[in-house]
Structure 1
């Protein structure tokens, strides 16, 4: 899952050393808090649905803390590996490592500590299946997406985005200690959601990616082609989301939300494609409109999933 970078506060120009507040802010920014928010938004609602009600507060707290440590760790490792291109990209050059507020060695230690803590918290306070899935997601994001796919293929975010789908499994296993069809369907919803979400952002910053030779789809293909791909993935995403109704025997709220939110998303995807057919001018295509709408779509869909069993 992607997000718009929030700049790290500038260091005091009157001092050669960063203040403690600057350093703490830099370490927090390495974990990409906005990404963590989205990941937790697909973890906690699944716990409510798996419990068919309100899960234990302690269980939710432990899952959230472990999830924060795990996602934060993966983001830190990503920042360390990508610090060379981050320094050249407009969207990322204010990150802590390009600004030399934190050293790569210190960041690696920080990321490793977070990874260990995530496994211990999830293993001892949730269950070891959830801990294993969390560790697998972390490793997939770092080794498969960041190190193997990102700089080599236009399909980087399609397959690399699998890491961001794991929270649906973790939320379910935290409650049930098993994997069923329901979390696998939700896993696929996030899988098909990720390309439209990310390609919209990549359209906005395609010059950045082109400058550092990262072959995001909007860099090597026309905006019209990208728009067509966004439409295709959006249709499959909405269709997949509707499978929860018959397979999980949901109440009325979830299918109503899935249909309504899906319809709005599809309209916006088609509108982006239509705007992209006749121009490459991003001010006319307005890709960030779909990017922000995609965040809202996923948030509301999973909130409806959490509330649905409470109404029954």
Structure 2
């Protein structure tokens, strides 16, 4: 990987005379905290929906390990993508392109946090959850970031598996197993990721084209991307209520999931019908991207609310 573009864009030496508070903020930014929020939220959902109970301290440890591992993967991703991050408008202010953090320090930071989170999960909780945690990070770094992202327009479809692991990890923290219920939770995020990210790529298309990342709108065009987005939202429509069918949740969740799914399909239809002119079709795509976050938070939030009467038992305080 060439560092020429990255090196030309660096505007300051990393950490030179930088206040401690700003240095801490830079390393916090390396963890991609906004992405981490969704990871932690879905991981908590897996913990709560899973059958069985877990001591509250161990539950907190499991959540911490999921958060730290996700952040570590984000830091390694920023290390590898520092050349294209320096060019893209969305990422050029990240800590590495601006020179606030050295690439080698970011890589070391990510590796140390990965090892720490996996070992703590294994020693404190169980090794099934630890193995899934390690697999999620390895998949994100090696399969998505290094192998797929710059080679195929299916990067998000396949690479999305990395972000789908957290509820499985939370489930395994409680049960020590991988069960059909946890695979279903995995599948929800896996199917949600393409329309979510393609909505973003529709209005960031020029950014990706500029750095040679073959996102679907760049390679296949916006019209084909919009059709694929509608297809995935239609596939999600019957999938999202399945936790109620399987008995993981009550039917209130099932009905709400169906309504959320219909709204998601509605957004996809509006994007599909939007004009091709860049200045006009950004608004529906941006609206769908924002709603996609509401959709996933809504699904997992409803699952946890459905289990609310059993939360005391879940944390091991039910006697």
Fold equivalence (TM over 0.5):
yes
Counterpart of 1:37 in structure 2 is 37
Maintained 8 Å contact 1:279/1:285: no
Maintained 8 Å contact 1:48/1:55: no
Counterpart of 1:108 in structure 2 is 107
Maintained 8 Å contact 1:87/1:98: yes
1:266 Cα deviation from its structure 2 partner: 1.0
- More displaced stretch, 176-185 vs 238-247: 238-247
Q: Does 2:214 correspond to 1:215?
A: yes
Counterpart of 1:128 in structure 2 is 127
- The match for 2:281 among 276, 279, 284 is 284
Aligned length: 298
- More displaced stretch, 288-297 vs 19-28: 19-28
Counterpart of 2:201 in structure 1 is 202
1:80-119 to 2 correspondence within 5 Å?
80-119=79-118
Report Cα offsets for 1:125-180 as digits up to 9, x if no partner. Answer: 21111011000000000000000000000000100110001112101101111111
1:83 Cα deviation from its structure 2 partner: 0.1
- More displaced stretch, 253-262 vs 148-157: 253-262
Output the CA distance in 2 between the equivalents of 1:255 and 1:130.
27
Counterpart of 2:24 in structure 1 is 24
Distance 1:215 1:48, change over 3 A: same
- More displaced stretch, 101-110 vs 78-87: 101-110
Counterpart of 2:317 in structure 1 is none
**Scaled by the length of structure 1, what TM-score is found?**
0.91
Counterpart of 2:188 in structure 1 is 189
Instruction: In structure 1, list runs of 5 or more residues that go unmatched.
Output: 1-10
Maintained 8 Å contact 2:73/2:140: yes
Q: Does 2:311 correspond to 1:307?
A: no
Maintained 8 Å contact 2:140/2:162: yes
Instruction: In structure 2, list runs of 5 or more residues that go unmatched.
Output: 1-10, 311-319
Output the CA distance in 2 between the equivalents of 1:131 and 1:41.
18
User: Which consecutive segments of 4 or more residues in structure 1 shift more than 6 A?
Assistant: none
Maintained 8 Å contact 2:47/2:170: yes
Maintained 8 Å contact 1:164/1:190: yes
